[in-house]
Structure 1
Amino acid sequence: MSSFYSFGDLYIGQTETLSRTITDADVTIHAAVSLDTNPVHLDEEVDRRSHFGARVAHGMLSAGPISALLGARLPGPGTIYVSQSLTFHAPVRIGQTATAMVRITDLNLLQKSATLRTTCMVKENVVIDGEACLLVPSRR
């Protein structure tokens, strides 16, 4: 179920998480939609010889749950992305479950904006981290 937070409902330290297991179909569909057909995501033979030694999900596919959290849960519907930084620390392999977490680190009352730390983990390992800045509706 979606949350419906207005700017006044938010507080520093507020968090939300979302998990998703990456499937072969996810990778194939993402390749088609994004036009990123790099063989490291799609060709098992190429992947065995790659730096990773096996197929890996697209980085932006792995980061997708972060966007889902921001747009559907915290802050939620009506939120406008202003910026997002991402650092990729490790790949997400097909079959692995990635858990995204967002945590509010700053609120700007004048701009009605929020800054959030964004993290994606596989088990206890951070695979992606970064920061997002968003505009948040004042009233719902």
Structure 2
Amino acid sequence: MLDTTHNLPRGTICIEDIEIGMSRSLSKVVTDRDIELFAEVSTDRNPVHLDDDYAHDTIFEGRIAHGMLTAGLISAVIGEQLPGHGTVYLGQTLKFLAPVRPGDRVEAVVTVTDMDLRKRKVTMETYCAIDGKKVLAGEAVVLAPSRKFD
């Protein structure tokens, strides 16, 4: 369940209304349950995510969330807010910069950097941060919904 206390309204912004520089975000505390559910759904049961004793002896010195769980927060912003419902992902690059731990509040942010109105393509800078420090950065390219195709 998403923590919606810091989220903007959800819905759809059609390509005709998107502008370069538009940005949306969400904030979520990553919980032990989130990590356990992601492990179950993805079948990634690496003990660095699930076993305190094992994780303590790694370079992370404790359990961390799956990187793709964190990246999923970017997908949530894109699919729910900007452009929103009806968006189709075309590509996403990701650079993992720092670990996310259970209890961390992660802010996922997407900002429009380029558009091709004719092709309905939107390029966005994407990142996740904890207390203003980026833990993940990348770029997404999506196909935005259009009023012309309703």
Instruction: Using structure 1 for the length normalisation, give the TM-score.
Output: 0.98
Letter in 2 for 1:8: E
The runs of 5 or more residues in structure 1 that have no matched partner are none
Q: What is the aligned partner in structure 1 of residue 3 from structure 2?
A: none
Runs ≥4 in structure 1, deviation > 4 angstroms? none
Q: Distance in 1 between matches of 2:31 and 2:113?
A: 32
Q: What is the aligned partner in structure 1 of residue 6 from structure 2?
A: none
Q: In the TM superposition, what is the alpha-carbon distance from 1:129 to its structure 2 partner? A: 0.3
Q: In the TM superposition, what is the alpha-carbon distance from 1:65 to its structure 2 partner? A: 1.1
Q: What is the aligned partner in structure 2 of residue 106 from structure 1?
A: 114
Q: What is the aligned partner in structure 2 of residue 116 from structure 1?
A: 124
1:1-140 superposed matches below 5 A = 1-139=9-147
Q: Distance in 1 between matches of 2:36 and 2:136?
A: 21
The runs of 5 or more residues in structure 2 that have no matched partner are 1-8
Q: In the TM superposition, what is the alpha-carbon distance from 1:13 to its structure 2 partner? A: 0.2
**Secondary structure of the residue that 1:107 maps to in structure 2?**
strand
Letter in 2 for 1:88: F
Q: Distance in 2 between matches of 1:137 and 1:22?
A: 30
Q: In the TM superposition, what is the alpha-carbon distance from 1:138 to its structure 2 partner? A: 1.4
Q: In the TM superposition, what is the alpha-carbon distance from 1:60 to its structure 2 partner? A: 0.5
Q: How many corresponding residue pairs?
A: 140
Q: In the TM superposition, what is the alpha-carbon distance from 1:124 to its structure 2 partner? A: 1.7
Q: In the TM superposition, what is the alpha-carbon distance from 1:62 to its structure 2 partner? A: 1.1
Q: Distance in 1 between matches of 2:65 and 2:104?
A: 10
Q: In the TM superposition, what is the alpha-carbon distance from 1:3 to its structure 2 partner? A: 2.6
Q: Distance in 2 between matches of 1:124 and 1:134?
A: 26
Letter in 2 for 1:81: Y
What CA deviation, in whole Å up to 9, does each residue of 1:65-122 have, x standing for no partner? 1000000000000000000000000000000000000000000022111000001001
Letter in 2 for 1:62: T
Please tell me the root mean square deviation across aligned C-alpha atoms, in Å.
0.8
**Secondary structure of the residue that 1:26 maps to in structure 2?**
helix
